[in-house]
């Protein structure tokens, strides 16, 4: 679940959600993915917006390491991501729909 104090950041051209700006206690903003993972260091709002604009949704094509409590980590690719859930596929083409991402 995305915290209510995070601000959506959308691509100017088509309104696609690129991620969020997460406020820090010192007034800085951290760029976050659509599913709430940090994309970079905290800085000015403009810096966080630039990071999201420059990255776009390319992070969805990256390989990710899925860690779940009590299980060995596995390499996955994101199949679908929303603010509420992430669906991934591992190397054996097994798909997993993950509820809330923490």
Query: Tokens standing for 62?
Result: 């990256």
Q: Tokens 């679940």 belong to which residue?
A: 1
Give the chain's count of helices (H) and strands (E): 1, 7
Is residue 41 within 8 A of residue 30, CB to CB? The reply is yes
∠ CA 32-36-37, rounded to 5°: 70
Structure confidence at residue 68 (pLDDT): 85
pLDDT band at 41 (very low <50, low <70, confident <90, very high): very high
* Centroid of chain to Cα 65: 13
Give the strand order in the sheet containing 95-98: 63-66, 74-81, 86-90, 95-98
Structure confidence at residue 66 (pLDDT): 87
Q: What is the pLDDT of residues 63-98, one digit of tens each?
A: 999 888 998 888 898 988 988 888 888 866 655 555
Residues facing 31 on adjacent strands: 21
Structure confidence at residue 74 (pLDDT): 86
pLDDT band at 56 (very low <50, low <70, confident <90, very high): very high
Structure confidence at residue 46 (pLDDT): 97
For residue 1, is pLDDT > 70? Answer: yes
Query: Tokens standing for 68?
Result: 């779940």
Q: Which residue, 42, 44, 4, 2, is CA-closest to 19?
A: 2
Structure confidence at residue 102 (pLDDT): 42
């Amino acid at each position: 679940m995305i915290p209510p104090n995070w601000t959506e950041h959308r691509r100017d051209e088509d309104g696609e959600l690129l991620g969020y700006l997460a406020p820090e206690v010192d007034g800085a903003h951290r760029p976050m993915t659509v599913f709430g993972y940090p994309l970079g260091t905290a800085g000015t709002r403009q810096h966080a917006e630039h990071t999201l604009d420059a990255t776009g949704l390319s992070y969805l094509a990256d390989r990710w390491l899925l860690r779940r409590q009590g299980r060995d980590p596995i390499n996955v690719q994101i199949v679908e991501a929303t603010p509420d859930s992430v669906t991934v596929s591992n190397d054996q083409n097994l798909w997993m729909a993950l509820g809330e991402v923490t």
